[in-house]
Chain A
């Protein structure tokens, strides 16, 4: 026990004097967690709360284009600036640049004409099919459809484009439906359809209810914080490889291990001490990053981290994730020959394992070929356990089961470390 305490004291002194290691273990992940959450949150805001700046060029003077413009406005996601551009869409680029707009829409001059022609054709077809009109269809050919052009600022990502395209398509459909309704009404009553009917059609649409699946029925809506804080905590844990892996290499190369081998002690005491010290580090990292999520994020107008109810399950996941990170770092330290090897290999592999493990890119967004590979990333299993608790509100039993793969990886890494030490005659 005295030897273990002395080694713990030594490891603690070495840790506190390793300023670069501390910066990597605490500073960098905190910065990443705050930065990535803030960026992702503003992205959500961009789509959900903020309005996308839009330059609208309407070359058409008819009623349909005015209706279309109104529907675009009613979509509620655009901040519209209207510009004169009867000469064509060519100058829309410049106009967007002038207005610093993300989207530009050009309505061609024949927009109303073509929608009207199209709706007449459809009306005649309906009346004919119902046996209300004459024997023959009067309109011959469907005209080439009108073409509304959407211009995107190149910084816009594909997911935003889908949202914008959906809003524009919805406005076009409403415009077309309104015109069709008017035509049908005119054929029966020789009057335009009343606004009340249009409102009924628009507002009477089937509603959509959104439910986030959780095992205990709790309805915490996932947000950037709930996703990012566990993810970057796991990343932080694995970055102990810089300090721990490098420390082991230093001890191997500076002769300390050699001297210990001439003393009546087991090297396993050293390894146990390192595991305890760095396990405390990983738990400290978790507490600090979670505290930032709970207390600092609301002050920064970011969503507050909602901690799960089961503290026991949270501790278990943190413990096993930390142990896995420490095992990985020890393994790297034992096999690396130089500090440069340990730091370089350790940092690069952690980033790669984070990428394939769903930390940098969500695992559901990965191509199918990567779905198998991600199972080999210990970070994936750590993150899955945290998400089980934070997002799916899984039961204690489910959490225990989710930790089993992690336990397997830990045992594998510990065995690998043991054989590495034997091979290098360190034990």
Chain B
């Protein structure tokens, strides 16, 4: 996908959770281009979800500022919400509703009109092969992941935030999700992706930022980062930058 303008600009971002003395994010600055497949990687506790929460307006950073397509997040959150989509790590839908009932509800909440909601629901049920005959609570974990993703893209956001969207899924579902995400990106959607699976970064992302202890320790295109540090894989890069083993279990 052609990169043409800045989708997200973050400058000197700092965030501390209430009641904690240690900063969870410290002096984060980065830029994400429109149409980019951007990946945030790091072990658990590195600050990926916190940074994503700040970018989606779920958390208000105490320091620095964020702009989304030139709009200040602080001052234009309501407007910005119209063109961002969010796929949280945990399932975020109504378990007692079917997939299409969930899609219709969240579509309407995103401001879509009834015909658009109906059309998009049918489209997503077909593309993601969603089981629409059962309440979501009766579906498998992999199918729930697909529903979780479908709700996030329902209103055709310009930027899609994905927080570990493939956690706990089988290979086939993971592959289906990856294929769909690439298709979305080809259609112009900027992807901001977090995962602890470095293999996913190598497969999906053009640009990556490696996070460690609330800071960005590397930020560039994947190929350039590997070339710069003379590494063949991200795991080796992580070790050379942090001096620590990358934990697959915890990471």
Q: Is the CB of B97 within 8 A of A14?
A: yes
Whether A10 sits at the interface, judged by CB under 8 Å, is yes
Please provide the chain A residues from 209 to 265 with a CB less than 8 Å away from any CB of chain B in the complex.
251, 254-256, 258-265
- Asked whether, in the complex, the Cβ of B94 is within 8 Å of the Cβ of A259, the reply is no
In this assembly, does B106 line the interface, its C-beta being within 8 Å of a C-beta of chain A? yes
Neighbour of A262 across the interface among B81, B93, B105, B135, CB < 8 A: B81
A312 within 8 A of B: no
In angstroms, Cα B110 to Cα A14, docked, is: 20
Chain B residues with Cβ under 8 A from A3's Cβ? 108-109, 111
Residues in A whose Cβ lies below 8 Å from that of B94? 10, 14, 251, 254, 256
Whether a CB of chain A sits under 8 angstroms from the CB of B226 is no
Tell whether B58 is near chain A: CB-to-CB under 8 Å: yes
A6 within 8 A of B: yes
Query: Quick one: given A259-B86, A263-B109, A263-B110, are A6 and B104 in contact (CB under 8 Å)?
Result: yes
Q: Is B99 an interface residue (CB 8 A)?
A: no
Number of A-B contacts (CB under 8 A): 80
Q: How would residues 108 to 145 of chain B score, 1 for a CB under 8 Å from any chain A CB and 0 otherwise? A: 11110110000000000000000000010000000000
A-B contact pairs, 17 of them (CB 8 A): A3-B108, A6-B108, A6-B109, A7-B109, A13-B96, A13-B101, A254-B92, A255-B90, A255-B93, A259-B92, A260-B106, A260-B109, A262-B56, A263-B109, A264-B79, A264-B110, A265-B109
Across the interface, name the chain A residue whose C-beta is closest to B136. A254
Number of interface residues of A (CB under 8 A): 24
Q: Using Cβ atoms and an 8 Å threshold, which residues of chain A touch B5?
A: none
Which B residues are CB-close (under 8 A) to A262?
Answer: 56-58, 81, 84-86
- A:99-133 near B, CB below 8 Å: none
Q: Give A307-342 interface residues, CB cut-off 8 Å to B.
A: none
Interface size on B, as a range, is: 20 to 34
**Measured between alpha carbons, how far is A255 from B163 in the docked complex, in Å?**
13
B242 within 8 A of A: no
Chain A stretch 1-58: residues in CB contact (< 8 A) with chain B: 2-3, 5-7, 9-10, 13-14, 17-18
- The smallest beta-carbon distance between A393 and chain B, in angstroms, is 45
Does B78 make an interface contact (CB < 8 A)?
yes
Convert B61-96 into 0s and 1s, putting 1 for each residue whose CB lies closer than 8 angstroms to a CB of A.
000000000000000001101101110101111111
Question: B58 touching A258 by the CB < 8 A rule?
Answer: yes
**B151 at the binding interface (Cβ < 8 Å):** yes
B92–A10 CB distance below 8 A: no
> Taking beta carbons and an 8 Å cutoff, which residues of B are in contact with A?
56-58, 78-79, 81-82, 84-86, 88, 90-97, 101, 104-106, 108-111, 113-114, 135, 151-152, 155
B109 and A255 form a contact (CB under 8 A): no
B85 contacts which chain A residues (CB < 8 A)? 262
Q: Which residues of A contact B82 (CB under 8 A)?
A: 264
A2 to B118 Cα, complex, angstroms? 14
Among A5, A14, A269, residue most surrounded by chain B Cβ atoms (within 10 Å): A14
A264 near B78 with CB under 8 A, answer: yes
B229: min CB distance to chain A, Å: 35
> In whole Å, how far is B79's beta carbon from the nearest beta carbon of chain A?
8
Partner of A2, one of B56, B78, B90, B113: B113
Complex Cα spacing A6 to B105, Å: 6
A12 to B16, CA, bound (A): 40
Instruction: Let me know if A258 and B88 touch, CB within 8 A.
Output: yes
Given contact pairs A7-B109, A263-B110, A265-B110, a sample of 9 additional A-B residue pairs in the complex whose CB atoms are under 8 Å apart: A3-B108, A6-B105, A254-B91, A255-B92, A258-B92, A259-B106, A261-B58, A263-B155, A269-B109
Identify the interface centre among A7, A9, A14, A256: most chain B CB within 10 Å of its CB: A256
| CB within 8 Å for A264 and B81 given contacts A2-B108, A9-B105, A10-B105 | yes
Among B58, B79, B105, the most chain A Cβ lie within 10 Å of the Cβ of B105
- How many Å lie between the Cα of A269 and that of B84 in the bound state? 20
Smallest Cβ distance from B82 to chain A, in angstroms? 5
Are B114 and A2 in touch, CB under 8 angstroms? yes
Which residues from chain A contact B108 at a C-beta distance below 8 Å?
Answer: 2-3, 5-7
A18 to B135, CA, bound (A): 12
The 8 closest A-B pairs by CB, nearest first: A255-B92, A6-B108, A264-B81, A262-B86, A259-B92, A10-B105, A265-B109, A17-B96
Could you tell me the distance between the alpha carbons of A14 and B98 in the complex, rounded to whole angstroms? 11
Nearest neighbor of B152 in chain A, beta-carbon distance: A259
Q: How far is the CA of A9 from the CA of B104 in the complex (A)?
A: 10
Q: Which residue of B lies closest to A14 (CB)?
A: B96
Residues of A within 8 A of B91 (CB): 254-255
Known contacts A6-B105, A7-B105, A264-B110; is A259 also within 8 Å of B93 by CB? Answer: yes
